[in-house]
Structure 1
């Protein structure tokens, strides 16, 4: 058994482009050594850009962003891939063969890619802080300081974003803030989630201090953090920890900034092409240099689409038709009319979500189709509905304003307003509206967890978590046993102790 884990460990870490001498602090490939860089504005810019690239790599590893946020949420009824079916069914402790080096369950249990990104953020914080203002572009010391602070703000944002992502997935995780060259023998304990998120909030507040609001003239708008992205992240952290007063305040900062606007009904699908006026923060992958082959097996397109978009007769991840029809009851709703099609799979009719069909042939080669959709993380509709949640969840609820926010979104999407609701049904309406608005956008799982807590600790999952299991924290992922080989202080996620093979 020990030999098996060692083989898995070596293979998995190799696949993640990790150095054999490092565990958490892993440098991105081709990054110059720290001794010869961090001398100029361009060095700082390159260092920060690597943070976003590494986050993209972490999210794309076994389609992690959507596997964590959507596959297990009930949106899908089955997967044709056995291992993704195990993910969907909450069989996260299933044994993984040592030869299954591409196994998505193995990769989804590893938090190594996120620590790769965190290590880069830590280096940016350390080295950029030490650089003199004169190293940065600008015509005055004030301009140069602002430029330096922008890079620092992005580094603090990306670190906070990674820790928030990991806390929602694994709960307690090791908290590493120093710029350290940790070897595989380095020991890290899992810090309490509350401690990690307290640090994330501190980082976000620094980002808010250092960053400006969106620059519409910049080609990097939305795909690099600004003040709006930082406030949106703060709002989500506050909602996750149940600080709905703080969440409401952060949402207001975004909404009242005037930097964002909802798309028109006719242009709803433009959101997924990237950098729309509604978007607040996205992970860039809408250029050929950033995109992936849509026909490659472990990509979102390969799992959720079919012909004519990719070479497949039916999606591998099968949507639950009943969930789709229960959510989209208004036939005029553009989110349904533009975001879904009905296809035939033998004698079965299936819904297919077509939000991510910005796909292009390369050199007229139908076997090589690149998916050019950015990963949309935060957008205005999400924040407005998060504010509605905060208004319902705070100690003195304001259900009327919450419903008004829901109806603002519905009106913009050509859906009829909701009327005649009471306090209980308004809370459910907010959850449902988030489900309609953010379908297959990486939010649904975490919405179900937050609302389950709001509703008294009940499980809202229909596919593998009872209320007792929900209260016991089954929705937090186990860590893969391979990580225990070099770190004896690392412990298994509480619910999964003794359940991971």
Structure 2
């Protein structure tokens, strides 16, 4: 089902394969001078970049602590105090591996792998130039994705981030750059990706980056800089332009979070996970047969099922309950997004948590708490682990529609009616009434619409890795008024220091070993 993964099973340091293991004593020792020779090497090199999705520092595990738990949607009450501190803006050790340095390191490792492809592949002779271009396009897209993450998490006006475009070597001390330069580089990479990538892949290559994914990611970069008109032009390609034929909302909201209907019409870019390798889940960077499963469920699952290192702020439940659908029932997204006390009263048949009954809410370690259901495996088994096969829909069409609506509302000449219609389209999929029914003011002024959109994005996209970027883009972390609002939903923001905590500290080891890098402001 996930044919992209078959390319990853024989991955070594340079991700080469051999037909006979007897001929090569250790495939990890393949040298650069004997690699990058042919089309197969080029494809293996690109697959090596995709393989970074399965590293604990990125989308397999720790990045969700930064994007979801540090936002106002989530938090941690983990007994691992330092881990929990990093979701409540208490940063004592900037080199804390699981909270900061691992994700930073893995982001630059992914960029290094992309740089290898972009350095060596142009010199490889291909029989099909289009195949070569598509490999290069994927490398440009993936490099831009990691620069996007670096900018969102560590970007500031200081010269705190390196921009690596060539092969690095020991002893390098790259120049530091402000976040504006990182955005410019990501945009440049995505322009190349848009030129090279196909609009669609065949079934054997599902999961690879497409032209639509590159447009959507560039729009995200542009929106963070408030370049609304340019972002709208990119999103238009997916919504009403040439790409519109490939995208739509699926009828069933839950289909975005199971392994039964993956790579569907709503998916713009999707990370392929699999439980095919169920060996011990170690964190070995160079495993020949790496764990290709999503680890997130093991860390976010309720007590007795997972570690429960991440949970949900209760305001989300209250927000869902603020209005009912066209049949007088609660928003189905509440059922499919969260485990919470009272869940069986709100929805018929919603009375199981990984096979356990509602009596769990009588336990002290459950009472009053809320847990995320998205990307959980409760819908088909009674446990979660380090080997979830559920793909992460990193960019989906509902997100695109809401981003496009935000852009239209922010363009001086934008049409508010069109922006409202886009939000209504997302609401209609889950049988919720049009905005004018319960939120009339949001249909009459751009200011009210944009404020309501902040809630609409939370209802549709909570715990999907978007909220931290949203908070930065909306400026809620750059004024005391905004931080006070966030603290009302998430008390961790009472620890938030203006001018400091809107970005992470660069790991101390990076700054101390490179005189060309600056630490982020006020750290």
Q: 2:189 matched to 1:203?
A: yes
For residues 261 and 124 of structure 1, what CA distance do their matches in structure 2 show?
A: 33
SS in 2 for 1:282: strand
Residues 90 and 165 (structure 1), Cα distance of their counterparts in 2 relative to 1, 3 Å cut: same
| Aligned residue number for residue 369 of structure 2 | 350
TM-score (norm 1): 0.80
TM-aligned CA deviation for residue 365 of structure 1 = 12
For residues 57 and 434 of structure 1, what CA distance do their matches in structure 2 show?
A: 28
- Equivalent positions of 1:69-148 (< 5 A) are 69-80=67-78, 81-92=80-91, 94-95=92-93, 103-107=97-101, 111-134=104-127, 144-148=128-132
| Aligned residue number for residue 43 of structure 2 | 45
For residues 106 and 454 of structure 1, what CA distance do their matches in structure 2 show?
A: 20
For residues 225 and 268 of structure 1, what CA distance do their matches in structure 2 show?
A: 23
Q: 2:146 matched to 1:156?
A: no
| Aligned residue number for residue 370 of structure 1 | 387
TM-aligned CA deviation for residue 54 of structure 1 = 1.5
Q: Give 5+ residue unaligned stretches, structure 2.
A: 1-11, 15-26, 283-290, 342-360
| Aligned residue number for residue 205 of structure 2 | 220
| Aligned residue number for residue 392 of structure 1 | 409
SS in 1 for 2:150: helix
Q: 2:426 matched to 1:409?
A: yes
Of the three residues 63, 78, 85, the one matched with 1:65 is 63
For residues 259 and 208 of structure 1, what CA distance do their matches in structure 2 show?
A: 16
Deviates more, 1:67-76 or 1:332-341: 332-341
For residues 511 and 450 of structure 2, what CA distance do their matches in structure 1 show?
A: 42
SS in 2 for 1:188: coil
| Aligned residue number for residue 521 of structure 2 | 494
The number of residues matched between the two structures is 443
Residues 59 and 426 (structure 1), Cα distance of their counterparts in 2 relative to 1, 3 Å cut: farther
TM-aligned CA deviation for residue 461 of structure 1 = 3.0
For residues 86 and 433 of structure 2, what CA distance do their matches in structure 1 show?
A: 36
| Aligned residue number for residue 355 of structure 2 | none
Q: 2:315 matched to 1:322?
A: yes
Residues 95 and 211 (structure 1), Cα distance of their counterparts in 2 relative to 1, 3 Å cut: closer
TM-aligned CA deviation for residue 253 of structure 1 = 0.8
Residues 168 and 366 (structure 1), Cα distance of their counterparts in 2 relative to 1, 3 Å cut: closer
For residues 351 and 367 of structure 1, what CA distance do their matches in structure 2 show?
A: 17
| Aligned residue number for residue 336 of structure 1 | 334
* Aligned partners of 1:291 and 1:370 also within 8 Å: no
* Aligned partners of 1:62 and 1:107 also within 8 Å: no
TM-aligned CA deviation for residue 53 of structure 1 = 0.9
SS in 1 for 2:394: strand
Residues 18 and 211 (structure 1), Cα distance of their counterparts in 2 relative to 1, 3 Å cut: closer
CA deviation profile, 1:407-438 (whole Å, cap 9, x unmatched)? 11000012222111232221112111111111
Q: 2:400 matched to 1:383?
A: yes
| Aligned residue number for residue 451 of structure 2 | 428
For residues 228 and 280 of structure 2, what CA distance do their matches in structure 1 show?
A: 38
TM-aligned CA deviation for residue 328 of structure 1 = 4.7
| Aligned residue number for residue 259 of structure 1 | 246
Q: 2:270 matched to 1:282?
A: yes
TM-aligned CA deviation for residue 112 of structure 1 = 1.5
For residues 177 and 378 of structure 1, what CA distance do their matches in structure 2 show?
A: 25
Residues 248 and 292 (structure 1), Cα distance of their counterparts in 2 relative to 1, 3 Å cut: farther
Residues 128 and 319 (structure 1), Cα distance of their counterparts in 2 relative to 1, 3 Å cut: same
TM-aligned CA deviation for residue 299 of structure 1 = 3.8
TM-aligned CA deviation for residue 454 of structure 1 = 11
For residues 166 and 387 of structure 1, what CA distance do their matches in structure 2 show?
A: 23
CA deviation profile, 1:174-223 (whole Å, cap 9, x unmatched)? 0110123x10x3212321211121121111011100111023x42332x2
Residues 434 and 165 (structure 1), Cα distance of their counterparts in 2 relative to 1, 3 Å cut: same
Q: 2:230 matched to 1:239?
A: no
| Aligned residue number for residue 140 of structure 1 | none
For residues 402 and 319 of structure 2, what CA distance do their matches in structure 1 show?
A: 19
TM-score (norm 2): 0.77
Residues 495 and 327 (structure 1), Cα distance of their counterparts in 2 relative to 1, 3 Å cut: farther
Alpha-carbon RMSD across the aligned residues, in angstroms, is 3.3
* Aligned partners of 2:321 and 2:330 also within 8 Å: no
| Aligned residue number for residue 24 of structure 2 | none
Q: 2:176 matched to 1:178?
A: no
